[in-house]
Amino acid sequence: MEFYKSKIKGTGMYVPEKVLTNADLEKMVDTNDEWIYTRTGIRERHICSTEGGEWPTDMALKASVQALEAANLEPNDIDMILFASVTPDAKLPNSACILQVKLGITNNCAALDIAAACSGFVYGVNLANSMIQTGAAKNVLVVGSEMLSREVNWEDRSICILFGDGCGVAVVGRNEDSDQSEILSSTLGADGTGAEFFDQPVGGAVEPITPEHIEKRTHMMQMKGGEMFKMATRTLANNAKKVIKEAELTLKDVDWLVPHQANVRIIETTGKLLGIDSEKVIINIDKYGNTSAATVPIAFHEAIHDGRIKRGDLVLFDAFGAGLTSGATLLRY
Ligand code: UT7
């Protein structure tokens, strides 16, 4: 069987217009800018309009148009959409199908949603890579798009200060340019025994939302932050080491670490555990908070756009989230 190389051909991002600052949150719950910034690194986050135009697939449309342009591709060149989100537009149809229509794709391309929480985009990139390597797909649109503001209890200060809305997209495609760009190694994993650390059990088949849930706000996301923190740093460091080893490279070779943006202290601790200089770590949590599946593609896109990440650089994606899911990708951009 022929084996193809894949690479990231283009990226895009979109964040909603409305900005919610820590000062705004001070008026909503018993918190303050100093606590939020020192504990999380977050200054502000973007929040989707509920009037329309900024639903997860709308944000994905805007980001995808940019990514396709950067990749020099037309919508109908895409033969698979992988849409990572825990806040899809609807239960049915999946968001990938909605995006297919919004993009005007008429080739009946495959369209699949990925529910892997904050690791969803990295799951998507790694699955796209496998599809491309085997020849099952040629150009895969990988989306991370979230409207977490819908699922956050705005009366719970332990959680509402953490999250934001936004979208990042990458076109992963077969490398036909004979350049050095390539996805070199990847890992995906999960530890379902840690599910209780970050969950939202109400609203599924087992326990539908009732008026009582709505009154008590028990249908929202709930997290045990301290437990997540410990698991995150350990898992992020282990997965990074795994992909480096598989590619027969060293952590010193890494030009850029693009980690999931859940907490600046998690990112800094992971960087230290790996011995990666802080200047090589992409951090933008101050502007966007935790946008779940969108953090890695937004951070990656921004760093390409402002000239930090260049073609040929060795880039490491590293993500961790509810599930508990995790994944890492090592690539030559
Ligand atoms: O993306 C998925 C992965 N996400 C994560 O992995 C998140 C990981 N966890 C975290 O980022 C941190 O654990 C948090 C930022 C969520 C919390 O930080 P922490 O340092 O673990 O704080 P804590 O929960 O231990 O709370 C410390 C204190 C508590 O008060 P007492 O009991 O010490 O009196 C909280 O009640 O801070 C209080 N507190 C707040 N105070 C002001 C909790 N939230 C707030 C708040 N403002 N928003």
Q: Is 229 a domain residue?
A: yes
Last residue of a domain, one of 174, 203, 226: 174
How many angstroms is it from 37 CA to the middle of ligand 1? 11
155 and 139 both lie in a single domain: yes
Nearest residue to 129 via CA among 77, 173, 73, 168: 173
Is 75 a member of any domain? Answer: yes
Domain encompassing residue 268:
182-332
pLDDT computed for residue 192 by the predictor: 97
- In the chain, the number of structural domains is 2
Atom of ligand 1 nearest to the CA of 265: 11
Tell me what pLDDT residue 1 has.
77
Cα 252 vs. chain centroid, distance in angstroms? 25
* Whether residue 87 sits in one domain with residue 205: no
| Residues 221 and 328 occupy one common structural domain | yes
Domain membership flag for residue 148? yes
Which of residues 174, 200, 229 is at a domain's end? Answer: 174
In a domain, 234, yes or no: yes
| pLDDT beneath 70, residues of the chain | none
Nearest CA to ligand 1 atom 13: 225
What is the 208 CA–ligand 1 centroid distance (Å)?
A: 29
Q: Best mutation site among 26, 39, 40, 326 for ligand 1, i.e. most ligand atoms within 8 A of its Cβ?
A: 39
Statement to judge: residues 210 and 316 lie in one domain: yes
Q: Is residue 83 one of the residues assigned to a domain?
A: yes
Based on the domain organization, do 252 and 120 belong to the same domain?
no
> What CATH number does the domain containing 68 carry?
3.40.47.10
**End of a domain among 174, 195, 219?**
174
Q: What is the pLDDT of residue 177?
A: 87
One domain for residues 148 and 193: no
Structural domain includes residue 51: yes
Q: Average pLDDT over the chain, rounded to whole?
A: 97
Task: Find the catalytic residue in 48, 94, 290, 301.
Answer: 290
> What is the pairing mode between strands 44-47 and 182-190?
unpaired
Residues 6+ apart with CB under 8 A from 190: 116, 323, 324, 325, 326
Assess whether 145 and 224 both reside in one domain: no
Of these residues, 139, 260, 263, 301, which one is catalytic? 260
**Does residue 1 lie within any of the structural domains?**
no
Q: Which of 119, 157, 158, 269 to mutate to test the pocket of ligand 1 (most atoms within 8 A of CB)?
A: 158
**What pLDDT is recorded for position 134?**
96
Q: What is the pTM of this model?
A: 0.97
Same domain, 151 and 297: no
- Closest to 297 (Cα-Cα) out of 69, 85, 94: 85
Q: Residue 288 contacts by C-beta under 8 Å, 6 or more apart in sequence?
A: 15, 44, 45, 46, 164, 166, 261, 295, 298
| Residue 119 shares a structural domain with residue 215 | no
In degrees, to the nearest 5, what angle opens at C-alpha 48 toward C-alphas 44 and 49? 125
Whole-number pLDDT of residue 9? 98
Question: Among residues 118, 129, 167, 301, which one is catalytic?
Answer: 118
Question: Does residue 299 share a domain with residue 154?
Answer: no
- Regarding whether 186 and 294 lie in a shared domain, the answer is yes
Q: If you take atom 35 of ligand 1, which residue's CA is the nearest one?
A: 158
- Evaluate whether residue 323 is within a structural domain: yes
Query: Are 152 and 248 members of one domain?
Result: no
